[in-house]
């Protein structure tokens, strides 16, 4: 396939409710949508970098720059046999995994359109439905959190992840566990804890959580290994795992027993599948993380989560948990068994709604040959 046109759109989409983590509060999801054309077909991709680089060093601004100045020129008008060739094509450009993953996703979609094959099938997916859960931002008090949890359970979610931060942790977890003794419950600290604060996680063992996600700063694998040796709850890494190499080191160190896979964090679906394969070979459960994606990124997550090693529910909620109006059609809905259907149309299996898109565009740039 040969790509002759690339368009980058910066979007700003209002969230149904604000999302608060240990590091940042977001009210509007800003992201980049990438459109590629080639061989008479088109593909869409989503770059999950955010306006503010609180989750990782990438931002909308750095991704725009790296796409415009380095990534798009590296692939325009050159022959690509398969999307899996993309990572080696851009290997000379260090870092910036979210920028790379956004463009790679568009190339996967394009390849799927050309081949008439759904993304899930191209990646080796086996499920037609995937188990999902809901990620709940930090709430102002325990009472509010209990109401929010109750509402999501009424909607049909069967797994709940609570965002925590120092001072807003044990009391919240205890209250939710008390109200819902059998709920699949897990926590995510987004690297907010000091490494000498392991006591709080030792105390969490009594609440029988599915996992504790990224308690410590991402660079510190040893601190996570020390924690895993002290607690019986599995430690799960998110921010720390930016490649299959890092995943191997984390597992060798016993720094985690579960891995959250996000294609955006690791440079694309090709690398994400490699991490999945490594973990499957070692019997380490993985699950698909989320970045408050639009329907474009959500479709990609569903395809990825259909691979056999994704044995824990993903942070992939129904569209209406995040957006009143989305750029992609159809919207994703929750089935009564707490699953969402994996798209079956070619590529990502969703269409971008031009009028919705225009509603959210902040700026656009087009790159084309001749």
Site residues for ligand NPQ per CB under 6 A: 19, 21, 26, 29, 50, 55, 135, 188, 190, 238, 289-292, 315
Name which of ligand NPQ, Mg ion, none residue 29 binds, using a CB cut-off of 5 to 8 Å depending on partner kind. Answer: ligand NPQ
Of the ranges 16-24, 69-77, 154-162, 209-217, which one interacts with Mg ion (CB under 5 A)? Answer: 209-217
Angle between helices 269-281 and 97-115 (to 10 degrees): 90
Nearest alpha-carbon partner for 310 in 343, 243, 263, 246: 263
Instruction: CB nearer to ligand NPQ: give 28 or 202.
Output: 28
Instruction: CB nearer to ligand NPQ: give 313 or 346.
Output: 313
Of the ranges 151-159, 233-241, 249-257, 290-298, which one interacts with Mg ion (CB under 5 A)? Answer: 233-241
In angstroms, give the least distance from the CB of 26 to ligand NPQ. Answer: 4
Instruction: CB nearer to ligand NPQ: give 110 or 168.
Output: 168
Residue ranges in 184-203 that form contacts with Mg ion under rule CB under 5 A: 188
DSSP codes, 236-290: EESTT--SHHHHHHHHHTTS-SEEEE-HHHHTSHHHHHHHHHHHHHTT--EEE--
DSSP state of 331: P
CA 268, CA 175: separation in Å to the nearest integer?
38
Establish if 238 lies at the interface with Mg ion (CB under 5 A).
yes
In angstroms, give the least distance from the CB of 313 to Mg ion. Answer: 14
DSSP state of 68: I
Q: Which of 161, 262, 274, 329 is catalytic?
A: 262
In angstroms, give the least distance from the CB of 345 to ligand NPQ. Answer: 25
Residues 266/42/126/320 CA torsion (nearest 10 deg): 80
118 Cα distance to chain centroid: 19
In angstroms, give the least distance from the CB of 290 to ligand NPQ. Answer: 4
Angle at alpha carbon of residue 293, lines to 290 and 296, rounded to 5°: 125
In angstroms, give the least distance from the CB of 38 to ligand NPQ. Answer: 29
Residues 349/353/358/362 CA torsion (nearest 10 deg): -20
Q: Which of 163, 165, 199, 274 is catalytic?
A: 163
Judged by CB under 5 A, the number of residues near Mg ion is 3
Instruction: CB nearer to Mg ion: give 213 or 242.
Output: 213
Name which of Mg ion, ligand NPQ, none residue 58 binds, using a CB cut-off of 5 to 8 Å depending on partner kind. Answer: none
Instruction: CB nearer to ligand NPQ: give 190 or 233.
Output: 190
Of the ranges 42-50, 80-88, 110-118, 183-191, which one interacts with Mg ion (CB under 5 A)? Answer: 183-191
CA 201, CA 71: separation in Å to the nearest integer?
41
Name which of Mg ion, ligand NPQ, none residue 131 binds, using a CB cut-off of 5 to 8 Å depending on partner kind. Answer: none
Instruction: CB nearer to Mg ion: give 58 or 213.
Output: 213
Establish if 218 lies at the interface with Mg ion (CB under 5 A).
no
Residues 193/28/317/9 CA torsion (nearest 10 deg): -110
Name which of Mg ion, ligand NPQ, none residue 294 binds, using a CB cut-off of 5 to 8 Å depending on partner kind. Answer: none
Q: 124's torsion region: left (phi>0), alpha (psi -120 to 50) or beta?
A: left
Residue 301 CB contacts under 8 Å (≥ 6 apart), including other chains: 263, 288, 290, 293, 314, 316
Establish if 242 lies at the interface with Mg ion (CB under 5 A).
no
Is residue 262 among the annotated active site residues? yes
DSSP state of 205: G
The residue number whose beta carbon is nearest to ligand NPQ equals 135
Is residue 2 among the annotated active site residues? no
Q: Are 327 and 318 in contact (CB under 8 A)?
A: no
Instruction: CB nearer to ligand NPQ: give 26 or 121.
Output: 26
Type and span of the H or E element at 41: strand 41-47
| Per-residue tokens: 195 | 């490494």
In angstroms, give the least distance from the CB of 136 to Mg ion. Answer: 13
Enumerate the active-site residues.
163, 262
List contacts with Mg ion (CB under 5 A).
Answer: 188, 213, 238
């Amino acid at each position: 396939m040969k790509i002759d046109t690339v368009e980058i759109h910066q979007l700003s989409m209002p969230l149904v409710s604000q999302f608060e983590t240990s590091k940042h509060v977001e009210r509007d999801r800003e992201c980049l949508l990438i459109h590629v054309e080639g061989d008479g077909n088109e593909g869409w991709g989503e770059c999950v970098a955010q306006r503010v680089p609180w989750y990782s060093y990438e931002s909308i601004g750095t991704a725009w720059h790296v796409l415009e100045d380095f990534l798009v020129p590296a692939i325009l008008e050159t022959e690509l046999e398969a999307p899996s060739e993309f990572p080696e094509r851009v290997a000379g450009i260090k870092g910036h995994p979210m920028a790379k993953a956004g463009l790679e996703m568009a190339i996967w979609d394009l390849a799927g359109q050309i081949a008439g094959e759904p993304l899930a099938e191209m990646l080796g997916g086996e499920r037609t439905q995937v188990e999902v859960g809901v990620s709940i931002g930090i709430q102002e008090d325990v009472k509010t959190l209990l109401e929010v949890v109750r509402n999501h359970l009424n909607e049909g979610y069967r797994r709940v992840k609570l965002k925590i931060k120092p001072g807003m942790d044990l009391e919240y977890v205890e209250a939710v566990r008390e109200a819902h003794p059998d709920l699949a419950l897990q926590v995510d600290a987004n690297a907010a804890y000091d490494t000498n604060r392991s006591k709080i996680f030792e105390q969490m063992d009594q609440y029988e959580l599915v996992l504790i996600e990224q308690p410590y700063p991402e660079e510190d694998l040893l601190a996570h290994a020390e924690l895993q040796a002290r607690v019986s709850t599995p430690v799960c890494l998110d921010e720390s795992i930016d490649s299959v190499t890092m995943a191997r080191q984390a597992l060798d160190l016993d720094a985690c027993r579960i891995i959250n896979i996000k294609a955006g964090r690791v440079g694309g679906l090709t690398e994400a599948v490699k991490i999945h394969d490594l973990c499957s070979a070692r019997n380490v459960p993985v699950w698909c993380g989320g970045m408050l994606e639009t329907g474009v990124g959500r479709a990609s997550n569903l395809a990825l989560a259909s691979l056999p090693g994704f044995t824990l529910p993903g942070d992939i909620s129904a569209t209406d948990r995040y957006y009143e109006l989305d750029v992609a059609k159809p919207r994703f809905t929750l089935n009564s068994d707490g699953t969402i259907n994996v798209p079956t149309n070619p590529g990502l299996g969703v269409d971008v709604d031009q009028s919705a898109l225009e509603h959210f565009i902040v700026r656009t740039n087009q790159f084309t040959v001749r």
